[in-house]
């Protein structure tokens, strides 16, 4: 809680850290995106080429990956990636289960908790703004 000129301000927003923490969050987003692309290549390449469902999975995965790289709607996209990865682990045959899917679920959960960081579209759209509250004498 911050106090500015006698008025209490509650922190109801996410932080968008800059510097090394911001670079760490960018690296986290890039790792999630790279893992998605690798999983598409590993598991869905044949499926994408042969079925409509495969095309849908491939396109949605690539769009989610691009949004993660850009840092656009990061908590929402990370949540969808988390759910998709968890469903993959639950519904896929045992021989398809991969440590990469577990890795993706863990990383996407971390991205949900930590947010996008300063080097993202989210920071530009929803970042901190300075609000000046003047005290009027009545």
**Per-residue pLDDT tens for 70-97?**
999 999 999 999 998 898 888 877 666 6
Would you kindly state where each structural domain of the chain is located, as residue ranges?
A: 17-126
- Distances from the Cα of 20 to the Cα of 23, 69, 121, angstroms: 5, 17, 18
Rounded CA separation 57/60 (Å): 5
Give the number of other CB atoms < 10 A from CB of residue 123: 22
Comparing C-alpha atoms, which of 138, 129, 112 is closest to residue 12?
129
Position 12 scores a pLDDT of: 37
- The pLDDT value recorded for residue 50 is 75
Task: Give yes or no for a contact between 94 and 3, defined as CB atoms under 8 angstroms apart.
Answer: no
Give the number of other CB atoms < 10 A from CB of residue 128.
Answer: 11
Q: How much is the pLDDT for 1?
A: 45
| Dist. CA 5–CA 43, nearest whole Å | 58
Q: Distance between CA 47 and CA 53 in Å, rounded?
A: 8
Is the entire prediction scored with pTM above 0.95? no
Give me the residues of the chain with pLDDT under 70, please.
1-14, 44, 46-49, 94-97, 128-130, 137-138
pLDDT of residue 112: 92
What are the distances in angstroms from CA 117 to CA 33, 68, 123? 16, 12, 7
Q: Two tokens at 78?
A: 């990370």
pLDDT at 2: 46
Instruction: State how far the alpha carbon of 73 is from the alpha carbons of 1, 51, 67, 100, 115, in Å.
Output: 26, 29, 7, 23, 9
């Amino acid at each position: 809680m911050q106090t500015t000129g006698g008025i209490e301000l509650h922190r109801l927003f996410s932080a968008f850290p800059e510097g090394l923490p911001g670079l760490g969050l960018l690296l986290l987003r890039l790792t999630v995106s790279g893992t998605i692309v690798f999983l598409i290549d590993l598991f869905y390449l044949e499926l994408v080429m042969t079925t409509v469902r495969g095309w849908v999975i491939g396109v949605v995965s690539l769009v989610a990956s691009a949004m993660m790289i850009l840092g656009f709607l990061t908590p929402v996209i990370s949540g969808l990636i988390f759910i998709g990865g968890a469903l993959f682990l639950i519904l896929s045959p045992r021989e398809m289960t991969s440590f990469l899917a577990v890795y993706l679920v863990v990383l996407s959960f971390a991205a949900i908790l930590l947010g996008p960081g300063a080097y993202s579209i989210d920071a530009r759209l929803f970042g901190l703004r300075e609000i000046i509250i003047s005290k009027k004498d009545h």
